[in-house]
Amino acid sequence: MRYRLSPSILAADFTKLGEEIRKTEEAGAEYLHIDVMDGWFVPSISFGQPLVTSIRQGSRQFFDVHLMVQDPERYIGDFAKAGADGITVHAEACRHLDRVLSQIHEAGCRAGVALNPATPLSVLDYVYQKTDMVLIMTVNPGFGGQKLIPEMFGKIRTLRQRLDELHLETDIEVDGGVNRDTIVPLLEAGTNVCVAGSAVFRGDIGQNVRVLNGVLRDYEKRQESEGVG
């Protein structure tokens, strides 16, 4: 199993966004997390397809686009054309989740399903085979800088156990409260893709990425040596 850091540009300085994205890539971040918020599904409004098109020109990273929007099927094709590599939609925002996941695949992207903290894992029961990644929200969506909700560790463990039972290599991504103190417990619970905003973009971006990536690489090596994953 591959362990990856996905820096969230929601926490970046938008007056020098391109420069800060380059720093994450140069420091070794393979993914870039792009939170799209519509002011309807979540209270905040962030950005849309034009920004993704713009930053795509200067980055070779995997664009991990997280649509925190109501009825996301309206935008799948546009974000795929803008440069998304993976598109994650909220189960709570989709009338027909199975259809939306098919739409994402048809657009040439990896398909993810995000679950809010209070949403049960049972909503995934009939779409596991179409889901490349499950994003467990470890905070309530819409605002950065929140503390991780501790009950989510159990949710992650249960999901990883379920995926193992189904013999699926589906990624588990977490978003919210990821930092140097929480990252190892999240990995031990079953996470393998970690979204980090403030923990990356506050302070020395390159150093922050290298430190967090170092934790991921060390954990990955330990798993390999123990014959896990």
- pLDDT (tens digit, 0 to 9) for every residue of the chain, 229 residues total? 899 999 999 999 999 999 999 999 999 999 999 999 999 999 889 999 999 999 999 999 999 999 999 999 999 999 999 999 999 999 999 999 999 999 999 999 999 999 999 999 999 999 999 999 999 999 998 766 678 999 999 999 999 999 999 999 999 999 999 999 999 999 999 999 999 999 999 999 999 999 999 999 999 999 988 877 6
State residue 226's pLDDT score. Answer: 81
Bind-site residues for a divalent metal cation: 33, 35, 66, 175
**CATH, residue 189:** 3.20.20.70
Range of the domain at 19: 4-225
Catalytic residue among 35, 38, 64, 171: 35
**181: annotated active-site residue:** no
Contact predicate 202/11, CB 8 Å: yes
**98: annotated active-site residue:** no
**Token pair of 11, please?**
């926490």
Contact predicate 88/122, CB 8 Å: no
User: How many residues can be counted in the chain?
Assistant: 229
Catalytic residue among 13, 164, 175, 204: 175
State residue 171's pLDDT score. Answer: 98
Concatenating the DSSP letter of every residue in 10-68 gives GGS-GGGHHHHHHHHHHTT--EEEEEEEBSSSSS-B---HHHHHHHHTT--SEEEEEEE
Spatial separation of the C-alpha atoms in residues 134 and 113, rounded to whole Å = 5
Q: Tell me if the pTM is above 0.85.
A: yes
Bind-site residues: 8, 33, 35, 66, 142-145, 175-177, 197-198
The Cα-based distances of 191 to 26, 38, 200 in angstroms read 24, 27, 18
State residue 3's pLDDT score. Answer: 97
Total tally of structural domains belonging to the chain: 1
Contact predicate 63/74, CB 8 Å: no
Bind-site residues for substrate: 8, 66, 142-145, 175-177, 197-198
Spatial separation of the C-alpha atoms in residues 24 and 55, rounded to whole Å = 13
State residue 92's pLDDT score. Answer: 97
**Token pair of 70, please?**
């109501």
